[in-house]
Structure 1
Amino acid sequence: MGKRIVITGSTRGIGNGLAREFLKRRCRVAISGRSADQVEAVVAELGQYYGESRVCGAACDITDPGQLQALWDATAEAFGGVDVWVNNAGVSIERLPLWEQRDRDLATLVDTNLTGALLASKTAIANMLQQGHGQIWNTEGFGSDGATQPGMAAYGSTKRAVRYLQRALRKDTAGTRVQVCTVSPGIVVTELLTGDYDITSEQFEKAKRIFNILADDVHTVTPWLADHMLAADKSGARVVWLTRRKAFARFMSAPFRTRDLFTHLDTE
């Protein structure tokens, strides 16, 4: 039997895609998300297809330490332990200058993307140290590498902080059997990507032109990510889908191919 894996934010999007790919590779997977109903539905679906003994789940707000510990405990009870913890849960907000953002949206963004990553990492690493081993993955996004773009000050800041967190955690866990790793899925067409746009706007039409060059759908990216994440065997491992070389090649070939990753969107 393969690794025992927890994925936060895995009822949809990249997290859900990773869960399916890990299950295909004989792993056991714990599903989590804020909605208990959604978690239950996904666990039932995946359990029917891959085997009930290989899928478990728990509703979890990653800003709540008690719920994070409950997620660990539920997984450990179901599978006998946790080998891999993937911090995937995150949110985005409308692309606006910082001074036009609503205070509550900023608070939610920072609570989820940064405080949630801190608390989830704390929970996972503390339990892995007690268990004697484990591997934690944090997910990078726009801004992790210091790139900037109009309307992305808040979101990019949270992701830049996650890269610092990764480096610090690697030093904190040095000499232990806990590995701290990074996954960068690139630009993936999910609700997280499109949810902060008015899809009828000129701004979105401009963004689509770039996305159709650089972005991919979940089913393209997650098989490759899963293979490389499972193969990682040392702290500091980085799994990066959209490298600079790949991005350059796509821009060079863009005039010779047509892609539309957004045909499923209802713009009426």
Structure 2
Amino acid sequence: MSAAATSSRVVVVTGGTRGIGLGLAREFLARDARVVICGRTTEAVDKALAELGAGDRATGLATDVTDRASVQALWDHAVAAFGRVDVWINNAGISCANAPIVDTDPQDVANVFAVNVAGALNGSSVAARGLAAQAGGGWVWNMEGFGSDGRTQKGIGVYGASKRALRYLTEVLVKEHRDTDVKIGFLSPGIVVTDLLVGDYDHDPEGFAKAKKIFNILGDKVETVTPYLAGKVLAAQKSGARVEWLTNGKAARRFMTAGFRKRDLFAEVA
């Protein structure tokens, strides 16, 4: 399908082979967008594309987001396939085992910051340059997570610190691209039940049992959150926009009604 054949927007989702990323890709396709995804391996990309079943409206490329040249190749692939990019979402992210900061493996620390911070920086840089060079510009969105707003919790200090850094990075990007055709946005999905969330507690079943109580109050499944996020992303107008699923008001209401609502979001995940 050529770029001229449709006026639908082209959306790139990094980390789009599973979890929130795959859910977003599915929702953008449902809204007539054309979608480009990436994952760590060709096998993962091919599997996700088969699940999406969108034919020539979706494509993908194995990409290492920690490598700038690899991210540039993803941009080039998207432009070659669809002629341009309208929305770029830095969704790729990882975590590490729930543990005190001082007990966290240094390599795990390096990996989390390489993907969550340097990976988003690479994506933002490549996309912002590409968007600035094309007619009409476009959007870059960065995916926030626990810690982005400064809240702290023991056991996830490394992940939280990476997401706090990501918000700072995104705030600076907003300022640096003010009065240009490149718009920057913040995506905040809240607590979403994915293998990333569950995997943090692989070696801490007692901690997971405690955490599940809060997750079942505040959390949601991918298919609940991603339609909202995708719709708001496509409707956004002003740079610096924040699309937030779990607002403070929503969280407060859920705690107030928790005694009347029995939920087990992990029934199919555990």
- The verdict on a shared fold, with TM-score over 0.5 as the criterion, is yes
Match of 2:80 in 1: 77
Partners of 1:265 and 1:192 in 2: how far apart? 11
User: Among 47, 53, 58, which residue is 2:56 paired with?
Assistant: 53
Aligned residues of 2:97 and 2:203 also touching (Cα < 8 A): no
Query: Displacement, 1:171?
Result: 0.9
- 3-state DSSP of counterpart to 1:262: coil
Aligned CA RMSD, in angstroms, stands at 1.1
Partners of 2:120 and 2:59 in 1: how far apart? 22
Query: Displacement, 1:41?
Result: 2.0
Match of 1:236 in 2: 240
Query: Displacement, 1:200?
Result: 6.9
Match of 1:101 in 2: 104
Match of 2:91 in 1: 88
User: Among 109, 121, 135, which residue is 2:124 paired with?
Assistant: 121
Match of 2:16 in 1: 10
Query: Displacement, 1:199?
Result: 7.2
Query: Displacement, 1:198?
Result: 2.9
User: Among 200, 203, 208, which residue is 1:204 paired with?
Assistant: 208
Partners of 2:31 and 2:67 in 1: how far apart? 31
Aligned residues of 2:186 and 2:243 also touching (Cα < 8 A): yes
Partners of 2:51 and 2:202 in 1: how far apart? 32
Aligned residues of 2:66 and 2:115 also touching (Cα < 8 A): yes
Partners of 1:146 and 1:24 in 2: how far apart? 34
Is it true that 1:23 corresponds to 2:29 in the alignment? yes
Query: Displacement, 1:44?
Result: 3.2
Q: What letter matches 1:62 in structure 2?
A: V
Q: Which digits, 9 at most, give the CA deviation of each residue in 1:18-55, with x for residues without a partner?
A: 00000000000001011111102222332xx33x2211
Partners of 2:40 and 2:193 in 1: how far apart? 21
Match of 1:150 in 2: 154
Match of 1:258 in 2: 262
Query: Displacement, 1:191?
Result: 0.8
Unaligned runs of 5+ in 1: none
- 3-state DSSP of counterpart to 1:220: helix
Is it true that 1:225 corresponds to 2:245 in the alignment? no
Q: Which digits, 9 at most, give the CA deviation of each residue in 1:66-119, with x for residues without a partner?
A: 110110001001110000000000000011111101111111011011111111
Unaligned runs of 5+ in 2: 1-6
Match of 2:141 in 1: 137
Partners of 1:200 and 1:93 in 2: how far apart? 12
Match of 2:170 in 1: 166
Task: Report how many residues are paired.
Answer: 263
Partners of 1:56 and 1:201 in 2: how far apart? 38
Q: What letter matches 1:238 in structure 2?
A: R
- 3-state DSSP of counterpart to 1:131: coil
Identity of aligned residues (%): 52
Aligned residues of 2:98 and 2:204 also touching (Cα < 8 A): no
Partners of 1:44 and 1:215 in 2: how far apart? 28
User: Please, what TM-score do these two structures have when normalized by structure 2?
Assistant: 0.95
Q: What letter matches 1:7 in structure 2?
A: V
- 3-state DSSP of counterpart to 2:192: coil
Q: Which digits, 9 at most, give the CA deviation of each residue in 1:131-170, with x for residues without a partner?
A: 1401000011000000000112211111011111111001
Query: Displacement, 1:264?
Result: 1.5
- TM superposition outliers: structure 1 runs of 4+ over 4 Å: none
Match of 2:184 in 1: 180
Q: What letter matches 1:96 in structure 2?
A: A
Q: Which digits, 9 at most, give the CA deviation of each residue in 1:176-206, with x for residues without a partner?
A: 1000001100000001111110377221111
Match of 2:4 in 1: none
